[in-house]
Amino acid sequence: MASSQLVVSAFLLVLASCLFTSAVAYKVWLFRDSEFRGGHIELSGSGCKGVPSDFNDRTSSVNTHGGCVILYQNSGCTGQSVQVFPGSGAHNNLKKLGFNDRTSSVGNCP
């Protein structure tokens, strides 16, 4: 009996870990041009991600896929930032947020 309880407990821990990870993970597409045009890249996961050099300071619109991300001006998720989430507006044109061509890293929302 103790063995089956251990298996169930382990399963529940793994399940809880997966649920927690997906809750803080993000997926964002960064577009070179406004209105979701031009080339784009995808960043996903959790924690701070640096923008590849060919997209650094070249993002004009973002698709957060219904989630929330923070765009940072500097690498390492430092410097000025803007939080982008459903309903925040200006996904299609970061110039409206004063953040056109300024994104160097991306991170989770709190």
Domains of the chain: 26-108 (2.60.20.10)
Q: pTM of whole model > 0.95?
A: no
Question: Per-residue pLDDT tens for 56-90?
Answer: 999 999 999 999 999 999 999 999 999 999 888 89
**What one-letter code names the amino acid at 44?**
S
For a pLDDT cut of 90, what percent of the chain falls above it?
74
Which of the 8 DSSP states describes residue 59? -
- pLDDT of 107 reads 97
Q: Which pLDDT band, with edges at 50, 70 and 90, does 5 fall under?
A: low
CA distances in angstroms from 8 to 5, 22, 94, listed in the order given: 5, 21, 47
| Range scoring the smallest mean pLDDT among 18-22, 25-29, 80-84 | 18-22
